Structure 1
């Protein structure tokens, strides 16, 4: 099952503020393997398939360094189509001496790194969904040692050459200031379901995925929102399967007292910790080139 298309609700774009556009462009092309779709003097839209934006990076004129112990991005996660492609990325990063973290999450195998500004990135491959273990509507997840040798044994003789076109944005993981308050917003407001727990963290999804969105308070309960001109998350985009679904979500957000603003046919809301979220519809015109400034 494809957990990142209709009738599911999922995340498909992240916008980041960076301190040096040229440096970040070099990193995201050379290290990560993304390609430039559009570029201006202060921003760039990156893609894997040459059509669909996946990441936008922006260099504001008054940018300041990433602030510690705040809400915002923990990491965004690039989902590779299979273990062999993860192995190619793994070898590529090792050869470049990139500092890596890693984990086996039972449902997936993952590598972790940061961009030049400290923005977190996960690159992972899912295990087959029929191997995931569910009990009482919760999926079993963990963070155990990655079988690095097993992954690298998947390698073939092909050289790494950017990311495969089928790479997508698998999920986003956020720092929030209050777990209970954020959980209400993401479930009763945005319509996701809690599917797993870690200490001080929740994982949420639609359609039985292990998670499209995760939230944590690992930066501390009551963590402040970063300044608007701080390096970090600008916004991210959630895609709903239909206008009916989005209208239902807008109504739920109104009942919660959440802020929602409209620009043409696009909507922006803000979670209780200050994370900005674009609310889009699957396949709608403009969904794949809309950027909030």
Structure 2
């Protein structure tokens, strides 16, 4: 597994329900909101950090589910901070699902426009189990009471050290996922759900990305004017950046920024550290 700098730093989403989306991200999750333009708002984890999310309003809601973003995952720095946030969401009666994936404990919810969000913490890496490059990841019930017993205090916002942990996509062909994440981004396949989902990463992480076909092989990708993910941005080291410029069809925005079309209807922005 290659040792490279690969950090998911930013997402841009096209939204429809301006009032409900702002209330969710600002007031329920407690993110730091700034108005970028009349119909564009940015969100940061803390007041001292750059935004990790921009929402541009004016998108249309499709009549059927589209391929593209399945969920983006917010990685909290420990079980205590995750427990504190989950306790808040339970008290607000916000609908969620959950899964214990061996390497992590995760909770799943949707924002008001239907974008999937995962909230999770990683278990210690030394406890992850690997076999020939494949990590053990299952799905069991989370012991919610045991997790909540670790909560810090009342939720006052995301702690320093919160990041975008991974981004999960849905499409119409596993081959497209393998070609893009494996052949193009040179990631390792770290986990396989037979015939319907593959997981990929750098640096022996359980996954930076996943790709599934859970909406069926005939699913259509998000159209330009529809709600959903527009672009995603990663920060990489110079060697990896140079490798991509030699191997991948791209547009060079400047000497340190590449624009790549992904196979899910989005733009990937690659920034050199």
Residue 112 of structure 1 deviates from its aligned partner by: 0.6
Residue 67 of structure 1 deviates from its aligned partner by: 5.0
TM-score by length of 2: 0.93
In structure 2, the residue matched to 1:290 is none
TM-score by length of 1: 0.87
Confirm or deny: 8 A CA contact 2:4 2:240 kept in the other structure: no
In structure 1, distance between residues paired with 2:235 and 2:247:
16
Q: Structure 1's 169 and 183: CA in aligned 2 closer, same or farther, altered over 3 A?
A: same
Confirm or deny: 8 A CA contact 2:97 2:107 kept in the other structure: yes
Question: Which of 172, 177, 180 is 2:175 aligned to?
Answer: 180
In structure 1, the residue matched to 2:230 is 234
Confirm or deny: 8 A CA contact 1:87 1:151 kept in the other structure: yes
In structure 2, the residue matched to 1:192 is 187
In structure 2, distance between residues paired with 1:118 and 1:145:
23
In structure 1, the residue matched to 2:165 is 170
In structure 2, the residue matched to 1:275 is 266
Is residue 46 from structure 1 mapped to residue 43 from structure 2 by the alignment?
Answer: yes
Residue 66 of structure 1 deviates from its aligned partner by: 4.3
In structure 2, distance between residues paired with 1:263 and 1:221:
34
> What SS does the aligned partner of 1:53 have?
coil
Q: Structure 1's 67 and 74: CA in aligned 2 closer, same or farther, altered over 3 A?
A: farther
In structure 1, the residue matched to 2:144 is 148
In structure 2, the residue matched to 1:103 is 99
Residue 37 of structure 1 deviates from its aligned partner by: 4.2
When the two chains are superposed, the root-mean-square deviation of aligned CA atoms in Å is 1.6
In structure 2, distance between residues paired with 1:108 and 1:25:
29
Instruction: Give unpaired runs (5+ residues) of structure 1.
Output: 1-5, 255-259, 283-293
Residue 220 of structure 1 deviates from its aligned partner by: 1.2
In structure 2, distance between residues paired with 1:75 and 1:151:
22
Kindly tell me the number of residue pairs found equivalent between the two proteins.
268
In structure 2, the residue matched to 1:87 is 83
